[in-house]
Amino acid sequence: MKKNIHPQYGETSVVCSCGNNFTLYSTTPEMRVELCYKCHPFYTGEQKIVDTANRVKSFENKRQEAQKIQVAKMKQKDEMKEKDKKRDNRSPQGPMTLRDMMQALQNKK
Protein backbone atom coordinates (compact mmCIF):
# COMPACT_ATOMS: atom_id res chain seq x y z
CA MET A 1 0.00 0.00 0.00
CA LYS A 2 1.17 3.51 -0.73
CA LYS A 3 1.78 5.76 2.20
CA ASN A 4 1.83 9.57 2.38
CA ILE A 5 -0.20 10.13 -0.78
CA HIS A 6 -2.43 12.77 0.78
CA PRO A 7 -1.38 16.44 0.91
CA GLN A 8 -0.45 17.96 4.24
CA TYR A 9 -3.41 19.57 6.01
CA GLY A 10 -2.56 22.48 8.27
CA GLU A 11 -3.03 26.12 9.16
CA THR A 12 -3.33 28.49 6.22
CA SER A 13 -2.85 32.22 6.29
CA VAL A 14 -5.55 34.04 4.30
CA VAL A 15 -4.90 37.60 3.12
CA CYS A 16 -7.76 39.67 1.73
CA SER A 17 -7.40 42.59 -0.69
CA CYS A 18 -8.96 44.83 1.99
CA GLY A 19 -6.02 44.04 4.29
CA ASN A 20 -7.77 41.61 6.63
CA ASN A 21 -5.74 38.55 7.73
CA PHE A 22 -7.10 35.35 9.27
CA THR A 23 -6.21 31.69 9.49
CA LEU A 24 -7.99 28.60 8.25
CA TYR A 25 -7.10 24.97 7.76
CA SER A 26 -6.25 23.92 4.22
CA THR A 27 -3.71 22.04 2.14
CA THR A 28 -2.12 25.25 0.82
CA PRO A 29 0.21 27.33 3.00
CA GLU A 30 -1.18 30.75 1.94
CA MET A 31 -4.22 32.09 0.09
CA ARG A 32 -5.02 35.52 -1.33
CA VAL A 33 -8.68 36.45 -1.77
CA GLU A 34 -10.55 39.46 -3.17
CA LEU A 35 -13.41 39.42 -0.66
CA CYS A 36 -13.74 38.33 2.94
CA TYR A 37 -16.35 38.60 5.66
CA LYS A 38 -15.23 42.14 6.52
CA CYS A 39 -15.56 43.58 3.02
CA HIS A 40 -18.19 41.37 1.32
CA PRO A 41 -21.37 43.34 0.38
CA PHE A 42 -23.61 40.71 1.99
CA TYR A 43 -22.07 41.28 5.40
CA THR A 44 -21.37 45.02 5.14
CA GLY A 45 -24.58 46.09 3.39
CA GLU A 46 -22.61 48.32 1.00
CA GLN A 47 -22.45 47.76 -2.73
CA LYS A 48 -18.92 47.17 -3.98
CA ILE A 49 -17.81 46.21 -7.48
CA VAL A 50 -14.68 44.10 -7.56
CA ASP A 51 -13.31 44.17 -11.08
CA THR A 52 -9.82 42.70 -11.09
CA ALA A 53 -10.03 41.33 -14.65
CA ASN A 54 -11.81 44.37 -16.20
CA ARG A 55 -14.91 42.26 -16.76
CA VAL A 56 -17.32 45.12 -16.11
CA LYS A 57 -15.58 47.36 -18.64
CA SER A 58 -15.48 44.52 -21.16
CA PHE A 59 -19.20 43.86 -20.66
CA GLU A 60 -20.03 47.55 -21.11
CA ASN A 61 -18.02 47.66 -24.36
CA LYS A 62 -19.83 44.59 -25.69
CA ARG A 63 -23.19 46.06 -24.73
CA GLN A 64 -22.43 49.33 -26.54
CA GLU A 65 -21.34 47.45 -29.67
CA ALA A 66 -24.52 45.36 -29.59
CA GLN A 67 -26.60 48.52 -29.24
CA LYS A 68 -24.86 50.07 -32.28
CA ILE A 69 -25.55 46.94 -34.31
CA GLN A 70 -29.19 46.96 -33.23
CA VAL A 71 -29.59 50.61 -34.27
CA ALA A 72 -28.02 49.83 -37.66
CA LYS A 73 -30.41 46.91 -38.16
CA MET A 74 -33.40 49.10 -37.30
CA LYS A 75 -32.27 51.70 -39.86
CA GLN A 76 -31.85 48.98 -42.46
CA LYS A 77 -35.37 47.67 -41.76
CA ASP A 78 -36.79 51.19 -42.07
CA GLU A 79 -35.03 51.66 -45.41
CA MET A 80 -36.41 48.35 -46.65
CA LYS A 81 -39.93 49.42 -45.63
CA GLU A 82 -39.51 52.70 -47.53
CA LYS A 83 -38.38 50.80 -50.63
CA ASP A 84 -41.38 48.50 -50.31
CA LYS A 85 -43.72 51.50 -50.06
CA LYS A 86 -42.21 53.04 -53.19
CA ARG A 87 -42.56 49.73 -54.99
CA ASP A 88 -46.22 49.46 -53.90
CA ASN A 89 -47.01 52.95 -55.27
CA ARG A 90 -46.39 51.81 -58.84
CA SER A 91 -49.24 50.86 -61.09
CA PRO A 92 -50.60 47.41 -60.37
CA GLN A 93 -49.93 46.22 -63.94
CA GLY A 94 -46.25 47.08 -63.76
CA PRO A 95 -44.36 49.60 -65.88
CA MET A 96 -46.26 51.25 -68.72
CA THR A 97 -45.41 50.44 -72.30
CA LEU A 98 -44.71 53.12 -74.90
CA ARG A 99 -48.16 52.51 -76.44
CA ASP A 100 -49.83 53.10 -73.04
CA MET A 101 -47.88 56.32 -72.54
CA MET A 102 -48.85 57.62 -76.00
CA GLN A 103 -52.53 56.82 -75.39
CA ALA A 104 -52.39 58.59 -72.02
CA LEU A 105 -50.94 61.69 -73.71
CA GLN A 106 -53.62 61.66 -76.42
CA ASN A 107 -56.39 61.30 -73.83
CA LYS A 108 -55.12 64.36 -71.97
CA LYS A 109 -55.45 66.57 -75.09
pLDDT tens digits for range 28-86: 989 998 888 888 877 777 776 666 677 888 899 999 999 999 999 999 999 888 887 77
Q: Contact at 8 Å (CB) between 21 and 14?
A: yes
12 contacts: CB under 8 Å, gap ≥ 6: 23, 24, 25, 26, 28, 29, 30, 31
pLDDT at residue 91 is higher than 70:
no
Residue 31, pLDDT score: 92
How many angstroms separate the Cα of 79 from the Cα of each of 15, 33, 36, 68, 100? 59, 53, 54, 17, 31
Model-level pTM?
0.40
Q: Contact at 8 Å (CB) between 18 and 39?
A: yes
